[in-house]
């Protein structure tokens, strides 16, 4: 096969983890005789510095043109006090919207080698295997009206949580389809005891579920869900929720697996005419400016995102499995970065990338 991949390393550790992810992508492609055409673009803080905007039009055009996009991370401390539209994060939100990647898949798995890195007791976390499906192009992140107005005691800020039936339906279908290839259980998470928005969410999820009688559906309120994730993570198979709840719960889920540096994500949109699925792939972690440029960030979240790309965008299951297996071998070998429990001196970002290539 032949495919075009756009890389957007972004800011902070995004640059170094993407470099290793690309190393693995090139390696696995060569091994399985695929041809990858790589291009690189600007997104986030680096794009603001170089062009004045977090999502330059060339980047948007390149992402629409590519078969898949691999992103690092965005965010730089010098923009902490900038208004939302001038922040690096706005670039990421813009590209998600431009690509229409409405379903963000964040798998949380307890790897045997990492069990002692989890903040939970071994018996609680052992066997955890869930996938969080976060709605990604709606809700509070994009809803209008939004903004800050007025002054003095009357200064006010507003954001809007809005969903249409169609938006809820398509992400619910994605969750149901995923569950069919897993343990056939979907948990929908909302705040329907308080929010009208969540009442519609729950109503539509229940209706869609009628088309999937083989799938067991249950509902949790988001506050209870936050608690159940640490009390009984094994109860979850597929968890589906709206954008902001999913943002928060997936960080909580990430740390169950031992380190947020481990978690990959896949954001999926529509199927394209050429048969590939529109996809944006990124580790769940942020740009971690405090450790950027030191060659010590964990690249496994980014490398796992390459596996997700191979599987979801290109349907290359064997290649994806080879990357995942190699990652597990590296974890078992203890040649890992300092955020995990390395055997001896922590490996560098680059060494972990090289070790994954060798294990493929």
Question: Looking at the DSSP assignment, which residues form a beta bridge with residue 274?
Answer: none
Q: Which is nearer to ligand IPM, 247 or 311 (CB)?
A: 247
Q: Which residues bind Mn ion (CB under 5 A)?
A: 247
Cα separation, 5 vs 79, in Å, equals 28
Tell me the closest approach of the beta carbon of residue 4 to ligand IPM, in angstroms: 24
Q: Which is nearer to Mn ion, 1 or 248 (CB)?
A: 248
Cα separation, 310 vs 25, in Å, equals 9
Residue with smallest beta-carbon separation from ligand IPM: 89
- Count CB-CB contacts under 10 A for residue 36: 17
Cα separation, 243 vs 161, in Å, equals 10
Closest to 77 measured CA to CA, from 338, 292, 284, 251: 292
Tell me the closest approach of the beta carbon of residue 2 to ligand IPM, in angstroms: 29
Residue with smallest beta-carbon separation from Mn ion: 247
Structure tokens given for 284: 């769940």
Q: Which residues bind ligand IPM (CB under 6 A)?
A: 74-75, 89, 92, 247
Binding partner of residue 92 among ligand IPM, Mn ion, none, CB cut-off 5 to 8 Å per kind = ligand IPM
Q: Which is nearer to ligand IPM, 91 or 346 (CB)?
A: 91
Q: Which is nearer to Mn ion, 66 or 257 (CB)?
A: 257
Structure tokens given for 302: 């980014």
Tell me the closest approach of the beta carbon of residue 91 to Mn ion, in angstroms: 15
Cα separation, 178 vs 294, in Å, equals 38
Question: Looking at the DSSP assignment, which residues form a beta bridge with residue 186?
Answer: 217, 238
Cα separation, 74 vs 90, in Å, equals 9
Q: Which is nearer to Mn ion, 94 or 346 (CB)?
A: 94
Cα separation, 183 vs 219, in Å, equals 16
Tell me the closest approach of the beta carbon of residue 155 to Mn ion, in angstroms: 27
Q: Which is nearer to Mn ion, 242 or 247 (CB)?
A: 247
Binding partner of residue 89 among Mn ion, ligand IPM, none, CB cut-off 5 to 8 Å per kind = ligand IPM
Positions annotated as catalytic residues are 141, 191, 223, 247, 251
Give me the long-range contacts of 50-53 (CB less than 8 A, separation at least 24).
Answer: 53/91
Q: How far apart are the first and last CA of the chain?
A: 19
Cα separation, 93 vs 71, in Å, equals 12
Binding partner of residue 239 among Mn ion, ligand IPM, none, CB cut-off 5 to 8 Å per kind = none
Structure tokens given for 12: 């902070």
Give CA torsion, residues 172, 174, 179, 182, to 10 deg. -160
Tell me the closest approach of the beta carbon of residue 41 to Mn ion, in angstroms: 22
147-149 and 156-158 strand pairing: antiparallel
Tell me the closest approach of the beta carbon of residue 145 to ligand IPM, in angstroms: 20
């Amino acid at each position: 096969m032949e495919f075009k991949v756009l890389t957007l390393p972004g800011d902070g550790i995004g640059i170094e983890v993407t470099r290793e992810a690309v190393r693995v992508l090139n390696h696995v492609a060569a091994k399985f005789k695929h041809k990858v055409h790589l291009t690189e673009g600007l997104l986030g803080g680096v794009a603001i510095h170089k062009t004045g905007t977090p999502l330059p039009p060339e980047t948007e055009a390149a992402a629409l043109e590519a078969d898949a996009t691999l992103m690092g991370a965005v965010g730089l401390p010098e923009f902490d006090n900038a208004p939302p539209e001038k922040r690096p994060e706005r670039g990421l939100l813009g590209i998600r919207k431009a690509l229409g990647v409405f379903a963000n898949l964040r798998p949380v798995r307890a790897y045997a080698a990492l069990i002692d890195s989890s903040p939970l007791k071994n018996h609680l976390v052992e066997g955890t295997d869930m996938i969080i499906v976060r709605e990604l192009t709606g809700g509070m992140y994009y809803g209008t009206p939004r903004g800050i107005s007025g002054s003095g005691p009357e200064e006010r800020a507003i954001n809007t949580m809005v969903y249409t039936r169609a938006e809820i339906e398509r992400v619910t279908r994605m969750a149901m389809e995923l569950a069919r290839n897993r343990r056939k259980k979907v948990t929908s998470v909302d705040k329907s005891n308080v929010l009208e928005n969540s009442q519609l969410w729950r109503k539509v999820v229940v209706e869609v579920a009628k088309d999937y009688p083989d799938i067991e559906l249950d509902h949790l309120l988001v506050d209870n869900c936050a608690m159940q994730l640490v009390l009984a993570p094994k109860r979850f198979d597929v968890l589906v929720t709206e954008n902001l709840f999913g943002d928060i719960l997936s960080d909580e889920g990430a740390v169950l697996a031992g380190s947020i540096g481990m978690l990959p994500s896949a954001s999926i949109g529509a199927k394209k005419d050429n048969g590939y699925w529109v996809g944006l792939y990124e580790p769940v972690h942020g740009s971690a400016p405090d450790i950027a440029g030191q060659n010590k960030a964990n690249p496994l979240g980014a490398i796992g995102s390459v596996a997700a790309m191979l599987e979801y965008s290109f349907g290359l299951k064997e290649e994806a499995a080879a990357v995942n297996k190699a990652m597990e071998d590296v974890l078992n070998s203890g040649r890992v970065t300092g955020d995990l429990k390395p055997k001896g001196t922590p490996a560098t970002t680059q060494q972990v990338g090289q070790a994954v290539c060798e294990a493929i």
